[in-house]
């Protein structure tokens, strides 16, 4: 059934226009997952040596489908077929990455996801800094991958180890576990390995930033989710405690840097680094509550960060600057947009009853059981998150309008994309029971 689905998708790609193609592809995907979950085909095909389906993989694939949908909707007014092809390529890579059950498949698609992302940065970046952004992205991700692969080859000469379902670790594989953890920490990224992220966001187009923040960063969370149980089995609790210290300190530092930033894109990028530190802390607790809160935060951050970058691009198209001091007074001309902007800033600071609020409360409760010290650091970090989110809204909306000439109004397509983000952020609040017991 899987191969028939793949052939049908290719036929749809050949005979349909871009948006119709993705609509047809999504219908096929929905049917595909219906067969897996409701009929139980996972027992026959997907519980195999290469692919595996569980709640997390289905959730992240659904997030990928929706974000790529939004990106293609926005890209309709430009009609750039090469860019649309790159988006399809990113989706297909992520699809197989989230379904992987062996180290070989996960590693291949994990690294292959860099190719279309770098091409998007080169194509859409307007400054010479796009070369340094691509260089940083390659150096950080490729070097961590090579260290991990080298440690694996030195410890395990048997190539069949690659094909084991996920990872059957042995007691002498501590170096490989450390390098694997480093790989996912770079992909998150945790503070200290984050230098590629602000540069990539600044030089990427709005579509690239939406995909990078909402989906690509979740590869780190997906990998850690698969890895943590093996860290405990391998007696690597000291490594987990070290990761918790780095994540808590890094999340706090990223929040402080975010509060002092004036570049809107860099501010949102550091906000992502801060939230990913919170996610790492929740996963390190190794409890069902922490895992559920981490999965919920991945979903909430995916929609919220994508919308923030999208609105930031709308501001840039009207003010021709990313400096928040040059965006003052937006509420004078864009009342409706400012209401939506306020909503997403409130989501970013985890105001109840948002998904962000429930996810952070679940993570806080799970971390409290682990250590009260981490709880205090995390509470301070959440307070700083409220400060920079309020600063983000007030700096843009209030004040005297600096530039008013030829400032174009909001278009229907832009508002539609934003409202779709808002809809899915709200609709999952009523289905929180999905995130318990998975």
What would the pLDDT profile of 233-244 be if each residue is shown by its tens digit? 656 778 888 888
pLDDT at 147 over 70: yes
SS3 387: helix
Indicate the range of 13-17, 77-81, 89-93 predicted with least confidence: 13-17
Measure the CA–CA gap between 208 and 393, rounded to whole angstroms.
23
Which pLDDT value is given to residue 308? 92
On whether residue 40 sits in a domain, the answer given is no
| Confidence grade of residue 131 (pLDDT, cut at 50, 70, 90) | confident
Residue 149 inside a domain? The answer is: yes
Residues in the chain: 438
Residue 1 in any domain: the answer is: no
- The Cα 260–Cα 12 span in angstroms is 48
Q: What are phi and psi of 323, to 5 degrees?
A: -75, 125
**Assigned domain for 13 exists:** no
The candidate with the shortest Cα–Cα distance to 274, out of 388, 376, 140, is 388
Task: Tell me how crowded residue 46 is: count the other CB atoms within 10 A of its CB.
Answer: 17
Q: How many domains does the chain have?
A: 1
**CA-based radius of gyration for the chain:** 21
Provide the angle, in degrees to the nearest 10, between the axes of the packed helices 218-233 and 288-319.
160
- Buried/exposed 233-242: b ≥16 CB within 10 Å, e otherwise: ebebeebbee
Give the pLDDT mean for 403-427: 77
Asked if residues 97 and 52 have their Cβ atoms less than 8 Å apart, the reply is: no
Is residue 56 in some structural domain?
yes
User: Does residue 5 lie within any of the structural domains?
Assistant: no
Give the mean pLDDT of 214-230: 81
Query: Is residue 157 included in any domain, yes or no?
Result: yes
Domain coverage including residue 312: 50-435
**pLDDT exceeds 80 at position 167:** no
| pLDDT score for 77 | 65
**Beta carbons within 10 angstroms of residue 12's beta carbon:** 17
pTM: 0.86
**Residue 7 maps to a domain:** no
Asked if the model's pLDDT at residue 47 lies above 60, the reply is no
């Amino acid at each position: 059934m899987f191969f028939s689905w793949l052939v049908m998708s290719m036929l749809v790609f050949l005979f349909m226009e871009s948006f119709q193609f993705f609509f047809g592809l999504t219908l096929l995907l929905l049917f595909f997952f219906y067969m897996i979950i409701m009929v139980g085909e996972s027992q026959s095909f997907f519980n195999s040596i290469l692919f595996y389906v569980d709640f997390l993989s289905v959730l992240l694939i659904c997030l990928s489908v929706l974000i790529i949908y939004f990106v293609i909707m926005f890209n309709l007014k430009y009609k750039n077929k090469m860019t649309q092809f790159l988006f399809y390529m990113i989706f297909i890579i992520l699809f197989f990455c989230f379904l992987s059950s062996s180290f070989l498949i996960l590693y291949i698609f994990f690294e292959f996801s860099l190719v279309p992302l770098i091409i998007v940065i080169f194509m859409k970046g307007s400054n010479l800094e796009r070369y340094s952004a691509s260089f940083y992205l390659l150096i950080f991700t490729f070097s961590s991958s090579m260290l991990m692969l080298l440690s694996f080859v030195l410890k395990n000469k048997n190539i069949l180890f690659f094909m084991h379902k996920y990872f059957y670790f042995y007691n002498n594989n501590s170096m490989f576990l450390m390098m694997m953890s480093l790989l996912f920490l770079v992909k998150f990224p945790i503070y200290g390995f984050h230098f590629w992220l602000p540069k990539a966001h600044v030089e990427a187009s709005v579509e690239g930033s939406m995909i990078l923040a909402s989906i690509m960063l979740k590869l780190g969370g997906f990998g850690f989710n698969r890895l943590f149980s093996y860290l405990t089995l391998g007696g690597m609790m000291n490594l987990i405690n070290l990761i918790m210290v780095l994540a808590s300190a890094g999340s706090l530092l990223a929040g402080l840097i975010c509060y002092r930033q004036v570049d809107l894109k860099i501010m949102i990028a550091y906000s992502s680094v801060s939230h990913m530190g919170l996610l790492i802390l929740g996963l390190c607790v190794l409890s069902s509550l922490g895992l559920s809160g981490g999965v919920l935060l991945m979903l909430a951050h995916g929609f919220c960060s994508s919308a923030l970058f999208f609105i930031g691009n709308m501001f840039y198209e009207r003010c021709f600057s990313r400096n928040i001091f040059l965006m003052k007074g937006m509420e004078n001309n864009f009342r409706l947009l400012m209401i939506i902007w306020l909503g997403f800033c409130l989501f970013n600071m985890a105001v109840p009853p948002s998904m962000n609020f429930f996810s952070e409360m679940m993570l806080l409760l799970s971390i409290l059981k682990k250590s009260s010290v981490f709880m205090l650091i995390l509470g301070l970090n959440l307070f700083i998150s409220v400060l920079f989110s309020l600063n983000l809204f007030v700096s843009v909306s209030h004040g005297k309008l600096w530039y008013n000439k030829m400032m174009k109004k909001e278009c229907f397509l832009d508002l539609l994309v934003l409202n779709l983000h808002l809809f899915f952020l709200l609709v999952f609040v009523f289905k929180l029971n999905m995130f318990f017991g998975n």
